Amino acid sequence: MSTADLHTLTGAYALHALDADERERFERHAADCADCEQEVRELRATAARLGLAAAASPAPELKDRVLLRITAVRQEPPPAPVVTASRPSRVSRLRTPRWVLAAALAAAASLGGTAVWQYERAQDARDGAREAREQSRQAELRAGQVAAVLTAPDAASRSAKLKGGASGTVVVSRSRDQAVFISSRMPKPPGGKVYQLWYDDAGTMRSAGLMDPGRTTEAVPLDGAVDGASGLGITLEPAGGSPAPTSAPLALLGLPA
């Protein structure tokens, strides 16, 4: 990159738009170029003022005019210093390119900034609505799974008292090969922890899902098929669950025959 090319990077440098290599080369150049150093300070001040300006809705045709203008006017580098009695002032030499860039910055602030903000807010709203729909769909699915097991003709249950005054009931439908765990008055798990349910396959624990750490009473459809499991275990695991129990079960309920 030539010195002339480095002169043209003042605007991009002021707006932090250079990559690491370009920024390093420009900073070495600016250390010995008073013109570029001064221009960077002035462009940063202009950008700061634009950032503090009150937002206003621009005319619909403003964006097209600005984009057309900036494609036709090239930012010129500061000319090399010439020692002469009649040397024109730096302000007059740089006025046109600087105000062209300022106009582009103004357009970016009024059009781009507003558009980006509006897009991000709209995207947040869409994401929130999508997440809410998915949560509602999952809740309906779980409720349907619970109802299907509880109303199955062969539904059988077994209840047990748990620690801390809680109680738990496991309901199994062998015809559906599914089970549901119903808890009552479960103490909330410590922060960063969650209750995880496990099928007991002859001493081998198989994950059957997580309980909601924010609820003390709930009906949880167990993940996976009962598939000959003999019991249901409950452990306290890190948030998100574990592939295998990290401690002895807090409770172990036998499944009804």
Same domain (yes/no): 7, 97 = yes
Q: Give the pLDDT score at 95.
A: 42
Q: In terms of residue numbers, what domain contains 189?
A: 156-254
191 and 111 inside one domain: no
**CA angle, 11 then 16 then 18, to 5°:** 80
- Give pTM, 2 decimals: 0.50
Least confident of 50-59, 61-70, 232-241: 50-59
Q: Establish if 106 belongs to a structural domain.
A: yes
Domain-embedded: residue 25: yes
Q: Is residue 150 part of a domain?
A: no
Q: Which of 120, 145, 173 is the last residue of a domain?
A: 120
Query: In total, how many domains does the chain have?
Result: 2
The answer to whether residues 95 and 176 belong to one domain is no
| Higher per-residue pLDDT: 27 or 64 | 27
Is there a single domain that holds both residue 7 and residue 61? yes
Report if residue 143 sits inside a domain.
Answer: no
Contact yes or no for 199/232 (Cβ under 8 A)? yes
CB-CB neighbours of 116 under 10 Å: 11
Q: What is the mean pLDDT of the chain?
A: 78
CA nearest to 77, candidates 61, 96, 60, 58:
96
**Same-domain pairing of 16 and 91:** yes
What whole-number distance in Å separates Cα of residue 84 and Cα of residue 216?
Answer: 85
Has residue 132 been placed in a domain? no
Q: Which two tokens stand for residue 186?
A: 């479960």
Both 103 and 181 in a single domain?
A: no
pLDDT digits (tens, 9 = 90+) for 60-118: 666 677 666 655 665 555 555 555 554 544 444 444 455 555 555 555 555 555 555 55
Sign of CA dihedral 11, 17, 19, 23: positive
pLDDT one-digit tens code per residue, 196-231: 999 999 889 999 999 999 888 999 999 999 988 999
Cα separation, 241 vs 180, whole angstroms: 18
Please tell me whether residues 111 and 175 are part of one structural domain: no
One domain, residues 92 and 197 = no
Sign of torsion, CA 203 207 208 214?
positive
Query: What is the distance of C-alpha 39 from the center of its chain?
Result: 37
Q: Is the dihedral of CA 124, 128, 129, 134 positive or negative?
A: positive
Other Cβ atoms less than 10 A from the Cβ of 169: the count is: 16
Between the alpha carbon of residue 58 and those of residues 34, 55, 106, the distances in Å are: 36, 9, 11
3-state secondary structure of 185: coil
Is the CB of residue 138 less than 8 Å from the CB of residue 221?
no
- 129 within some domain: no
- Say whether both 25 and 105 belong to one domain: yes
pLDDT value of position 91: 41
17 inside domain: yes
Q: Report CA-CA distances (Å) from 188 to 162, 183, 237.
A: 13, 12, 13
Query: 164 and 115, same structural domain?
Result: no
pLDDT average, residue stretch 18-31: 85
